[in-house]
Amino acid sequence: MTTSSLFRPPVTRRPDPSLAHRRADVRLTLRGPDGAALAGQDVVVRQTRHAFWFGCIGFDLVDLANGDSRDPGYDQLLADAWLDVFNQATLPFYWGTFEPERGVPRTARLRRAAEWFAVRGVVVKGHPLVWHTVQPGWLLDVAREGGDRVTAAGLAEVERLQRERIRRDVTDMAGVIDTWDAINEVVIMPVFTAEDNAITPLARARGRVETIRIAFEEARAANSSATLLLNDFDMSTAYECLLEAVLEAGIRIDRLGLQSHMHQGWWGEEKTLDVLERFGRYGIPIHFTETTLLSGELMPEHVVDLNDWQVDEWPSTAEGEARQAEELEAHLRLLLAHPDVEAFTYWGLSDRGMWLNAPGGLLRADGSPKPAYDRLRDLVRGEWWLAPTTLRTDAEGRVRVTGFLGDYEVTLPGVRDAAPLPFSLDSPGAVERTLRLA
């Protein structure tokens, strides 16, 4: 029979807490412009970028990037803290806030924000191209053809507009944003009841798989080199089954997005390992796209839709901050230990303006760092980072360095006018690099 299935036998890659799979052990040979080994020379090696994506949302910096911050001092503080740790930003492309007035998308504004990050060496992801919430009101009117019931003709028009929206925005951002959450939360999409919207009935009419196909097909057509994610919060077997449906349908998912908004408490080691093992078996690299850990009281377990928990005050506490730091470190170590995980994105830097008013930031509302921020920085720019390190080359001009996969540069303080020599570590284990001064 003909089949377009992309389902493959399962991949089983075991976690390795030593993180050996994240490190390379490089022997650098340094040569002068004439090719002769630079023997007995002091060199300084330093890391300039992580290959792993340590990300955060960049929503709060859109104003600053556009030069219209309402609190420039605070926003600059945020920006400094942000850039001191993270190398991947997720920017908001919720249709309802991106194009609240039909035909007037905030393209220029978001493009400037994306460029602000990009010029600072940050990878930018757009989130999301298709989702059933944060919809523009006018889209529901389209679905209802101006009446009070969704019609088949209305849905056909919604599909056309959704496709057009994807093509437009992916095209407009190409080169600056080449990674997209193509579609968000499809497990629940056709059965979502909390809010009337135009996308739920579309997903119901077309089916989950065809709705996913719309998103991937249009985004791929607009930017063939884009990295496209399927993203969901549902870590149950439902998401496995959905993924199997998508693979059976022959739709190529570049990266698998797993949310982890842990407002009800850290998953803990057992659940985290279970999720990694279950979702890792599809052989699709995993992005932890949305992580939240609270530094205050937890949300009660009985709450199913986190949006149902609305409180006025939700303070960060000393005890909560200590716990958050512990849990963030434990969680991150588990993620990095798993070879399938490529990215980790924290969902909000500061408590000011946090989703649900929750104390989930890494900075307090006043901008001061919580222990979790310091802990994260200690890992990302400390334990897992090669700070400038002075070494002396041997008789063959060689030095040995071990570091996390990423970008590096070598400077030669003893050589006049020597430009820094960049190199990259792309794959783990022992490697050789020869660098030659110009």
Residues within the interface to a copy of itself (CB under 8 A): 1-5, 7, 9-10, 187-188, 190-191, 204-210, 234, 236-242, 244-246, 248-250, 278, 281
Instruction: For the CB of residue 206, give the shortest distance to a copy of itself in the complex, in Å.
Output: 7
For a copy of itself, which is the closer residue by CB, 38 or 187? 187
What is the closest distance, in whole angstroms, from the C-beta atom of residue 239 to a copy of itself in the complex?
8
User: 181: which residues sit within 8 A by CB, 6+ positions away?
Assistant: 90, 125, 126, 127, 128, 129, 229, 231, 257, 289
Rounded Cα distance, 406 and 428, in Å: 10
Nearest residue (CB) to a copy of itself, 283 versus 428:
283
Q: Which amino acid is at 306?
A: L
> Which residue reads 């630079």 in tokens?
38
For the CB of residue 242, give the shortest distance to a copy of itself in the complex, in Å: 4
How many angstroms separate the CA atoms of 257 and 199, rounded? Answer: 20
At its nearest, how many Å lie between a copy of itself and the CB of residue 306? 17
Of 234 and 342, the one with the shorter C-beta distance to a copy of itself is 234
Interatomic CA distance for residues 315 and 244, integer angstroms: 41
- Residue 372 · residue 291 · CB < 8 Å: no
Contact 331, 324 (CB under 8 A): no
Least Å distance between CB 421 and a copy of itself?
Answer: 47
Query: Which residue, 239 or 266, has its beta carbon nearer to a copy of itself?
Result: 239
Report, in Å, the least distance between residue 307 CB and a copy of itself: 18
**Element of type H or E holding 220:** helix 208-222
Give the whole-angstrom CA distance, residue 187 versus residue 323. Answer: 31
**Strands in 94-185 per DSSP E:** 123-127, 177-184
Nearer of residues 250 and 382 to a copy of itself, judged by Cβ:
250
DSSP state of 180: E
The rounded distance, in Å, linking the Cα atoms of 229 and 241 is 16
Residue 136 beta carbon to a copy of itself: minimum distance, rounded to whole angstroms: 25
**Judged by CB, which is closer to a copy of itself: 99, or 185?**
185
- Cα gap 105→34, rounded to integer Å: 56
Helix 199-206 vs helix 208-222: angle between axes, to the nearest 10 degrees? 110
* Residue number, 4 or 310, with CB nearest to a copy of itself: 4
Structure tokens at 89: 């930003």
- Helices 152-173 and 199-206 sit at what angle, rounded to 10 degrees? 110
**Please, what is the minimum distance in Å from the beta carbon of residue 310 to a copy of itself?**
24
In the structure encoding, which two tokens stand for residue 208, read together?
């989950």
116 or 282: whose CB is closer to a copy of itself? 282
